[in-house]
Amino acid sequence: MYGDIHLFSLYNQFMNMMEITAQMRENKKIEFKDQLKIVILLSVPAILEQLVGTAMSYIDTAMVGSLGYKATAAIGVVASTTWLFGGICTAAVLGFSVQVAQYLGAGKNKLARQVVCQSILFNVIFGLCMALIVVGASFYLPTLLGADSSICRDATLYLAIVGAFIPFNMMAMLHSGMLRCSGNAVLPSLMNISMCVFDVIFNYFFIYILNLGVAGAALGTGMAQMVVGFILMYIVVKKEKSLRLLGDESWKINKEILKNVVNLSIPAGLERVTLSLAQVVMTGVVSSMGAISVAINYVAVSAEGLCYLPAYGIGGAATTLVGQSIGAKRKNMAKRFAYLTTLLSFVLVIFMSVIMFAFAPFLASTLTTSQEVIDGASECLRIVSFSEPLFAISIVVMGALRGAGDSKRPFVLNALSMWGMRVLPIIIFTKRYGVIGVWVTMTFELVFRGIIFFIRMVRGKWLDQNSIK
C-alpha cells in the first residue's frame, strides 16, 4: 500500500513538472515558487542519475580494490583515458540533446523527432569508430603513460573492453539526455538505477565467479550499459509522448541538424579533450611516482566524485531549463534559471564538502584495503574539499551556457583554467612534492575556475550566443 502511495506521489510530481514546462513553452507567467519547484523536480532525478553513475565507478573500484592495490592501479593508470573518450562521446551527444530542448521549447516537435532519427544514425557510425580507436590504443597507452610493467596487462585488458562497449554507453547517454531535455527527468533516473543494479550483478559474476579480475569489472559495466542503452532507446522511439517516432520522419542525413551538432559538440568535444588530456598528463606525472601514488590518486578521484555529483545533476537540469527558455525566446527566465540552479548547487556541495572532510578515511577505506593508500587518499580528499563549492558553480554555469547554445566560451575558460592553473604548475613545481602536491595545485585551480565561470554568468553575454539556427 505504501509503495502505491509513493509511486502515485512521484507521478503527480512528474505531471506538475510537465505542466510548468508547458506553461513556459506557451509564454505564460510562471511564479517564482513554480520556477523553484521545477528546478528541484528536475534536479533531484538528475542528481540521482549522477549518483548512480558515480556509484557504478565506486562499485568497480571497490570490487577491484579487494584484489589488491595493483589491480586498483591498473584501472587508475588508464582512467584518465577512459574519461577522455567518454568525454568525447558525451560532447557528441550533447549537440542532439540541446537541440531537442530548444525545439520542444519552441513547439517544433517534428524537428525534435528528426533530431532523434539523426542521433540514432550518428550513434552507430561514431560509436563504432570510437570503439575501434580505443581498442587499438589500449595495446600501447599503458606503457606510454609510464605504467609499471606489473600492471600493464590488466590496464590494457580493462581499456580494450571499455572501448568495445562505447557504442552502448553512447546509446544510454544519448537517449537519457533526450528524455531529460524533454522534461522527463524521472525515467532516466529510474533506468540509471537499474544500470547500477545490473552493474553489481554482472561485476560479481565476472570478477568473483569467473575470476576475471580487472577485465571482469570492465565486462560487468559494459553489459549493464548495453542492456539499459537498448531499453532507453525503445522508450524514446516508441513511448515518449513528445519524441516517439510517428513514421513521418526522414532518415536521410539532415545537414541543418548535423550542422547544429557540429556547432555545439565540437567546442564541447574540444573542451573535453583539453580537460582529459590534462588528466592524462597528470596521470603520467603521478605514474612516475610509483604504483602506490597511482592507487592513492585514483581512490581519491573516485571518492571525490561523490562530493560534486549534485552539481552535475543540477547542471543537467540547468541545460534543460535554459535550453527550453531560449527556445521559447524567454531570456530573462533563462537567466533566472541559471541563477537558481547555481545557488542550489553551491549550497548542496557545501554540505557534501563537510561530509567528505569528516569522513575521508571511511570513504577511502571502502575502495581499498591498503592502509597506505587510505591515508594518502584521505589527505587528498580533505585538501580538495575546500574548493568543491566553487567547482560546483563552474559545473552548473557550464550547463546553463550549453543550454543557451553558448558552446565556445566554456571551452576557452576550461582550457585556460586547466592548463594554465593546474597542468603547468604540476609539471614545473609539484612533482617534487608527490601526489599531495598535485592535489594542492588542483584545489587552487578549481577555485579559479569557479570564479571565472561565475563572472561569465553574471555578465549575461551568453544569452546572445545561441549556436542553433
pTM: 0.69
Q: What is the pLDDT of residue 418?
A: 85
Q: What is the pLDDT of residue 342?
A: 92
Please name which of 157, 164, 155, 196 lies closest in space to residue 72, comparing C-alpha atoms. 155
Q: What is the pLDDT of residue 353?
A: 92
Number of domains forming the structure of the chain: 1
Q: What is the pLDDT of residue 369?
A: 79
**H/E element holding 437?**
helix 434-459
CA pair distance 260, 451, nearest whole angstrom = 29
Neighbours of 35 (CB within 10 A): 17
Is the residue at 94 inside a domain? Answer: yes
Is the residue at 31 inside a domain? Answer: no
Is the residue at 5 inside a domain? Answer: no
Assess contact for 448 and 455: CB atoms under 8 A: no
Determine the distance from the C-alpha atom of residue 82 to the mean position of all C-alpha atoms in its chain, rounded to a whole number: 12
Is the residue at 7 inside a domain? Answer: no
CA pair distance 328, 25, nearest whole angstrom = 6
Alpha helices in 330-370 (DSSP H): 331-358, 360-365
Is the residue at 166 inside a domain? Answer: yes
Is the residue at 6 inside a domain? Answer: no
324: Cβ contacts below 8 Å, ≥ 6 apart: 21, 24, 25, 101, 102, 104, 105, 181, 183, 403
DSSP-derived 3-state class of residue 380:
helix
Is the residue at 124 inside a domain? Answer: yes
Q: What is the pLDDT of residue 41?
A: 76
CA pair distance 271, 266, nearest whole angstrom = 8
CA distances 83 to 9, 19, 24, 293, Å, are: 37, 37, 36, 19
Per residue in 324-347, pLDDT (tens digit) is: 788 777 888 888 889 999 999 999
Query: Which ranges of the chain have pLDDT less than 70?
Result: 1-31, 49, 53-58, 60-61, 65-70, 72, 77, 79-80, 106, 145-150, 183, 248-250, 430-431, 466-469
Please calculate the CA angle 158-159-161 and round it to the nearest 5 degrees.
Answer: 70
11: Cβ contacts below 8 Å, ≥ 6 apart: none
Q: What is the pLDDT of residue 150?
A: 67
Is the residue at 21 inside a domain? Answer: no
Neighbours of 137 (CB within 10 A): 19
Per residue in 63-96, pLDDT (tens digit) is: 776 666 667 677 776 766 777 777 777 777 777 8
Q: Which domain holds residue 229?
A: 43-464
89-105 burial code (b ≥16 CB/10 A, e <16) = bbbbbbbbbbbbbbbbb
